Amino acid sequence: MKQVTTYTGKKVLVLGLAMSGASAAKLLMRLGADVTVSDLKPLAENPEAQALQAAGCKVITGEQTPDQLSAGFDLMVKNPGISYDVPIVKRALELKLPIVGEMELASEIAEAELVAVTGSNGKTTTTTMIQKMLDHDRQAGKAVYAGNIGVPASKVAQEVSADDTLVLEISSFMLTETTAFHPHIAVLTNIFSNHLDYHKTRANYVAAKMKITANQTADDYFVVNFDNPEWRELSQKSAAQVVPFSRENNSQEGSYEADGTLYFRGEAIMPASEVKVPGDHNIENALAAIAVAKLEGVSNAAIVGVLRSFGGVRHRTQYVLEAEGRQYYNDSKATDMEATEMALKGFKAPVVLLAGGLDRGYTFEKMIPAFKAHVKAIILFGETAKLLEDTAKEAGIKTIKMSENVETAVPLAYELSDPGDIILLSPANASWDQYPSFEVRGDRFIKAVEKLTGKQEEA
Residue ranges for the known binding site are: 119-125
Give DSSP secondary structure letters for 360-389: -S---GGGHHHHHHHEEEEEE-STTHHHHH
> Which value, in Å, is the radius of gyration of the alpha carbons in the chain?
23
Distance, CA of 442 to CA of 332 (rounded, Å): 5
> Which residues are within 8 A (CB) of 37 and not within 5 positions of it... i.e. 6 or more apart?
13, 14, 17, 21, 22, 25, 49, 52, 57, 58, 59, 60
DSSP for residue 151:
B
Phi-psi region of 293 (alpha: psi -120 to 50; beta: other; left: phi over 0): alpha
- Distance (Å) of CA 118 to CA 94, 444, 451: 29, 27, 36
Distance, CA of 146 to CA of 184 (rounded, Å): 16
- Distance (Å) of CA 218 to CA 3, 203, 239, 255, 427: 27, 26, 6, 20, 41
Answer for the pair 235, 224: CB distance below 8 angstroms, yes or no.
yes
Residue ranges for the known binding site for ATP are: 119-125
> Which residues are within 8 A (CB) of 5 and not within 5 positions of it... i.e. 6 or more apart?
31, 32
Cα(first)–Cα(last) distance of the chain, in Å?
35
Closest CA to 106 of 43, 64, 169: 169
DSSP for residue 458:
P
Give DSSP secondary structure letters for 53-83: HHTT-EEEES---GGGGGGT-SEEEE-TTS-
Distance, CA of 96 to CA of 135 (rounded, Å): 42
Beta strands 326-330; 318-323: pairing state = antiparallel
- Residue 180: phi and psi, rounded to 5, are -115, 5
Beta strands 261-264; 399-402: pairing state = unpaired
Distance, CA of 292 to CA of 142 (rounded, Å): 16
Counting every residue written for the chain, the total comes to 459
DSSP for residue 198:
H
Closest CA to 438 of 318, 319, 271, 278: 318
Distance, CA of 168 to CA of 63 (rounded, Å): 31
